[in-house]
Amino acid sequence: MEKAKPRIRNFSIIAHIDHGKSTLADRFLELTGVLGQKGITPQFLDKMDIERERGITIKAQTVRLPYTSHDNETYILNLIDTPGHVDFSYEVSRSLAACEGAILVVDASQGVEAQTLANVYMAHDFDLTVLPVVNKIDLPSADPDKVRGEIEDLIGMESDDAILISAKEGIGIEDVLEAIIEKVPPPGGDRKAPLKALIFDSWFDSYQGAVVLIRIFDGTLRKGMNIQMMSSNKVFEVAKIGVFSPDMTEVAELSAGEVGFVIAGIKEVGDTRIGDTITCEDNPTGTPFPGFNVRKSMVFSGLYPAASGHFDLLRNALEKLQLNDSSFSYDPETSLALGFGFRCGFLGLLHMEVIQERLEREYGVGLVTTAPNVVYEVTTRSGEVLSVENPSNLPGTQDIAFISEPYVFATIYLPNTYLGSILRLCEEKRGIQREIKYHGTDNRVVLTYDLPLGEIVFDFYDKLKSLSRGYASFDYEDLDFRQSDMVKIDVLINGDIVDALSLITHRDSSYFRAKRLATKMKDLIPRQMFEVAIQAAIGKKIIARETIKPLRKNVTAKCYGGDITRKRKLLEKQKEGKKRMKQVGKVEIPQEAFLSILKT
């Protein structure tokens, strides 16, 4: 047995969006001399444009900070950044699992938020040492004492020695680094034991293949070794190992307790699954790191090229993007209204938005996106379990034994004032209450609920924000699939089913959804020369109906003065418009009408 090097500290920063995580990280980099004061891009850790703009982190970053402490010892501090959003809670959990400690950053005026809470709970689960830090104390609205109170009440953490800092002004940064050394335990592990390394992120580099971020728990990794992915048993030869300081720097070896990257000619990021354990082929560990999960897409949406003829462009973009992010999936599909496109699966709503934005921004593909839906598990009468990603693929009612829908564990943090309406919202959305926790001093409440993901994807988040005037914060993690009374609503126009508009919803809200859909269609379909019936049906049963009265008058009153050209051109223009319409039976529906329905 050879113990890990003692002067290493592995830590993350936990913070709500905009509470200053990235700014604090920038200060660490400057203070430790990893980056000069000048010429640095603020928020070094958020490398993608989207990350910077949205103030979120999508890919985990990591950086090695050499720091000489007040006791004149030089330490290696590994800052492992975590992705900062609900959709990536699994990824967050893997990043936290790679650490021994976490800095909890709370905004001195905003206080604790739901996202912070969820991550702190997770850090506790991994027995991390959590160091509370109150940031933005330079702001006039800062109220550090109140925030300390919140930390004690809500998180149940001793907050007397919470460090007061201003990352922006550079106040208290050294104190934080000293506290890390003093309070976060050094990593354990045995450098001589069989290799056991946790993958906590990976991405694709077009020259070197997958770049895999790892934390070594046992053993030593060297160039030329044959490593094995324990989930797939695939073996790769290590081409390069190193650390980020902040640029990629090769090292001769990485051993227990250390954090770094490994490159091993891996052509698909799908082979480097987050949470998987890397071991040595010749001398494998008997105990892979626990908690490995293959992430499944939970939210699906159709992506179509906005310009017809851009289908190949979109496919190429999706292929390239998937090299970097194996957590989304795509399969070709066709839609009456939109033509050829792809049904894509995402971890959650934000993940979906990020992918869409990257496609548009990095690959220049204009997109038309349909409203998202969740994945359903359908058990057929013959006992088969199907994953239904597109409502129109749901088997007929007679073949279905039951349908299960995904549930999440939701944490909502809000001012007491809005409690009544938010409770009603959660009930309305079929939530199952776990706990209501009142915060003594500040009239704040923490609600935890089991909620169907489908409701969140539909309109829960928007409603939460509007009911609480933006004061409620919300976080969730995937739980399980639960049997629910789900039904498929079909939309019929003069008796013809419009497959693109089918949706799956809970029976209790089916009437409401059907009515809303039919009303909206009524407003969007122009009147025709005959009556148009819009029906919404569950199976054969019609549950909502709207009628578009026939157009009775469309006549140009005056056609003289000799300007025949103008009238002809007007008719020609209308004809062009008609050509772009989609035909359902003999009903002409403008594409815009479809889009507006599909997008909501």
Partner 1 sequence: MIKQEEAISIYFHIPFCISKCPYCDFNSIALSPIPEKKYTQALIEEIDYCVKYPLKNLGKRKVASIFFGGGTPSLFYPDSIAKCIEKVLSLFSPGPDMEVTLEVNPKTADRKELNELCAGGINRLSIGVQSFQDKFLKNLGRAHDSSDAVRVLEDAKMVGFSNISIDLIFGIPDQTLIDWERDLDYALSVNPEHLSVYNLTIEEKTPFRELQRQGKITLPDEDTQVRMYGLAQEMFTEAGYEQYEISNYASPGFRCTHNEGYWTLKEYLGFGAGAHSYLREGLYDKGWGTRWKNESDPFEYISRLSDECSVVTDKEQLTKEEAIKEAIFLGLRRMEGICLDDFEDRFGLSLDNTFSEVIPYLVKEDLISIKDGHIKLTNKGILLSDDVFLNFF
Contact footprint for partner 1 (CB under 8 A) = 529-530, 551-565, 567-568, 571-572, 574-575, 578
The span from the CA of 468 to the CA of 351, in Å, is 24
Residue among 349, 568, 578 at smallest CA distance from 478: 349
Q: Which is nearer to partner 1, 233 or 556 (CB)?
A: 556
Place of tokens 């204009």: 366
**CB-count burial class (<10 Å; 0-12, 13-18, 19+) for 55:** middle
Output the smallest distance, CB 564 to partner 1, in A. Answer: 6
Q: Which is nearer to partner 1, 541 or 552 (CB)?
A: 552
Q: Which is nearer to partner 1, 423 or 533 (CB)?
A: 533
Strands 486-493, 496-497: pairing is antiparallel
Q: Which is nearer to partner 1, 424 or 569 (CB)?
A: 569
Output the smallest distance, CB 567 to partner 1, in A. Answer: 7
Q: Which is nearer to partner 1, 568 or 580 (CB)?
A: 568
Can you give 408-449 as a three-state secondary structure string? EEEEEEEEHHHHHHHHHHHHHCCCEEEEEEEECCCCEEEEEE
Q: Which is nearer to partner 1, 55 or 590 (CB)?
A: 590
- For 16-70, strand residue ranges (E) read 62-68
The answer to whether 207 and 239 have CB atoms below 8 angstroms apart is no
Cβ-Cβ contacts under 8 Å for 470 (sequence gap 6 or more): none
Torsions phi, psi for 263 (to 5 deg)? -125, 130
Handedness of CA 579, 585, 586, 587 (dihedral sign): negative
Output the smallest distance, CB 531 to partner 1, in A. Answer: 13
Output the smallest distance, CB 580 to partner 1, in A. Answer: 13
Largest CA distance in the chain: 102
ω before 590 within 30° of 0 (cis)?
no
Torsions phi, psi for 197 (to 5 deg)? -125, 135
Output the smallest distance, CB 535 to partner 1, in A. Answer: 23
Q: How far are the Cα atoms of 46, 228, 375, 445, 561 from residue 461, in angstroms, in the given order?
A: 25, 42, 18, 18, 58
Residue among 167, 163, 223, 136 at smallest CA distance from 29: 167
Q: Which is nearer to partner 1, 248 or 581 (CB)?
A: 581
Cβ-Cβ contacts under 8 Å for 229 (sequence gap 6 or more): 235, 236, 271, 272, 273, 276, 277, 278
Output the smallest distance, CB 588 to partner 1, in A. Answer: 11
- For 306-460, strand residue ranges (E) read 329-335, 339-346, 367-369, 373-374, 376-380, 385-388, 400-415, 432-439, 444-452
Output the smallest distance, CB 581 to partner 1, in A. Answer: 11
The answer to whether 340 and 349 have CB atoms below 8 angstroms apart is no
Q: Which is nearer to partner 1, 38 or 558 (CB)?
A: 558
Torsions phi, psi for 235 (to 5 deg)? -115, 140
Strands 376-380, 400-415: pairing is antiparallel
Output the smallest distance, CB 596 to partner 1, in A. Answer: 21
Output the smallest distance, CB 577 to partner 1, in A. Answer: 10
Output the smallest distance, CB 528 to partner 1, in A. Answer: 9
Q: Which is nearer to partner 1, 381 or 586 (CB)?
A: 586
Q: Which is nearer to partner 1, 364 or 550 (CB)?
A: 550
Q: Which is nearer to partner 1, 194 or 526 (CB)?
A: 526
Q: Which is nearer to partner 1, 252 or 555 (CB)?
A: 555
Using only C-alpha atoms, the chain has a radius of gyration, in whole angstroms, of 28
Output the smallest distance, CB 573 to partner 1, in A. Answer: 10
Q: How far are the Cα atoms of 64, 226, 457 from residue 195, in angstroms, in the given order?
A: 21, 11, 41
Residue among 97, 36, 87, 32 at smallest CA distance from 59: 87
Output the smallest distance, CB 570 to partner 1, in A. Answer: 9
Residue among 252, 190, 246 at smallest CA distance from 224: 252
Tokens representing residue 69 in the block: 């402490």
Output the smallest distance, CB 521 to partner 1, in A. Answer: 20
Q: Which is nearer to partner 1, 125 or 563 (CB)?
A: 563
